[in-house]
C-alpha cells in the first residue's frame, strides 16, 4: 500500500470510489469534478433514497 494525500490506496484498487449525496446540483457537480480530478470514482445522487438504492456498490470512502 502507498499513502497519497493522507488516503491509503493499493495497487489492487488504484481508484477510490465515493458516494456523493446532495440535493443542490450547483454544489454536487463541481465537487464531483474536483474529486474526479484526484482519481476518485464519484457516484452522485440528489436524494438519500437514490443513494441507498445503489448502496450495494463497493465504496472505499
- pLDDT over 90 for what percent of the chain? 44
Cα separations in angstroms, 34 against 11, 22, 55: 22, 15, 22
Q: How confident is the model at residue 61 (pLDDT cuts 50, 70, 90)?
A: low
Model confidence at 8: pLDDT above 50: no
| pTM to 2 decimal places | 0.65
Phi, psi of 50 (to 5 degrees): -65, -40
Amino acid at each position: 500500500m502507498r499513502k497519497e494525500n493522507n488516503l491509503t490506496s493499493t495497487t489492487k484498487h488504484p481508484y477510490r470510489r465515493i458516494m456523493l449525496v446532495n440535493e443542490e446540483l450547483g454544489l454536487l457537480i463541481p465537487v464531483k469534478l474536483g474529486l474526479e480530478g484526484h482519481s476518485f470514482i464519484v457516484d452522485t445522487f440528489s436524494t438519500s433514497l437514490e443513494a441507498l438504492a445503489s448502496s450495494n456498490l463497493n465504496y472505499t470512502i
